[in-house]
Amino acid sequence: MHKPILAPSILAADHANLAAGTAVVENLVRPQELAWVHLDIMDGHFVPNFSFGPQTVAALRPNSRLFFDTHLMLDEPHRYIEPFAKAGADLISIHIEPQYDHAGTLARIRELGCQCGIVLNPGTPATAIEPLLTQVDLVLAMTVQPGFGGQSFRRDVLPKITQIDTWRRERGLGFRLEVDGGIDLNTVVECRAAGADTFVAGTSFFNAADRAAFAEKISAL
């Protein structure tokens, strides 16, 4: 079982000073080698919202040693792999729902020197990503409909997390299993029990009175 990793989402940080958001994460998350930050990229098409693009990722890169966990919520992610890889993404995750060459795009992410992930929405069955499991470093199971921070955790996704974790064990695969949306110190325990090991937290992390204690609790799961 992988060690738990917290990946705070700077979608919930101050967008007038995102570098301060990554600095908060960098200063608090221990141990350093497991220090991730989650970057939510939205195109106004796949999701009804915008966030930021490769220029912002590139601007954050020199200020941070964090592992850039880059979640592309785009209709045409295959068109934007190169800019995000060049901007300094360490891992690039793409959604299964839009129609494009998923396997080819994952391979391209690898070719560009990044780790790759496949993402599925709450309503998408695990079978949709099953053929790609041997090709990925990470599976991201959305626990809200993507587009906005601060939504309520979708408990109905838990059996799907267990199914993906079961396939991982049965097949001896090493990908990380990440959850994203409505994760707090209560829902994270349910996700860990279901088999997840990588936890995105936006609102709950940035609003926590004691962020260091929040990060410590996740490391101890």
Enumerate the active-site residues: 40, 180
Q: What is the DSSP letter of 155?
A: G
Give 100 or 148: the residue with its C-beta nearer to ligand DX5: 148
184 annotated as belonging to a binding site for a ligand: no
Question: 132 with 141: CB under 8 angstroms?
Answer: no
Handedness of CA 19, 25, 30, 34 (dihedral sign): negative
Q: Which of residues 165-204 bind Zn ion (CB under 5 A)?
A: 180
Which range binds ligand DX5 by CB under 6 A, 78-86, 94-102, 131-139, 144-152? 144-152
Question: 31 with 218: CB under 8 angstroms?
Answer: no
- The option from Zn ion, ligand DX5, none interacting with 149 (CB < 5 to 8 A, set by class) reads ligand DX5
- Convert residues 21-60 into a mask of x (bound to ligand DX5 by CB under 6 A) and - (unbound): -----------------x-x--------------------
Q: Distance (Å, rounded) from C-alpha 84 to C-alpha 82?
A: 5
2 annotated as belonging to a binding site for a ligand: no
CA dihedral in degrees (190, 136, 115, 19; nearest 10)?
-30
Which range binds ligand DX5 by CB under 6 A, 127-135, 155-163, 196-204, 208-216? 196-204
Give 180 or 197: the residue with its C-beta nearer to Zn ion: 180
Q: Which of 67, 71, 160, 199 binds Zn ion (CB under 5 A)?
A: 71
Question: What are the CA-CA distances from residue 22 to residues 35, 73, 84, 168 (Å)?
Answer: 11, 20, 17, 31
Orientation angle between helical segments 187-194 and 158-171, nearest 10 degrees: 30
Q: Within a 13 Å sphere around the CA of 17, how many CA atoms are in the beta-carbon half?
A: 4
Give 85 or 140: the residue with its C-beta nearer to ligand DX5: 140
Binding-site ranges for ligand DX5 (CB under 6 A): 9, 11-12, 38, 40, 71, 144, 146-151, 180-183, 200-204
User: Annotated binding site: which residue ranges?
Assistant: 9, 38, 40, 71, 147-150, 180-182, 202-203
User: Annotated binding site for substrate: which residue ranges?
Assistant: 9, 71, 147-150, 180-182, 202-203
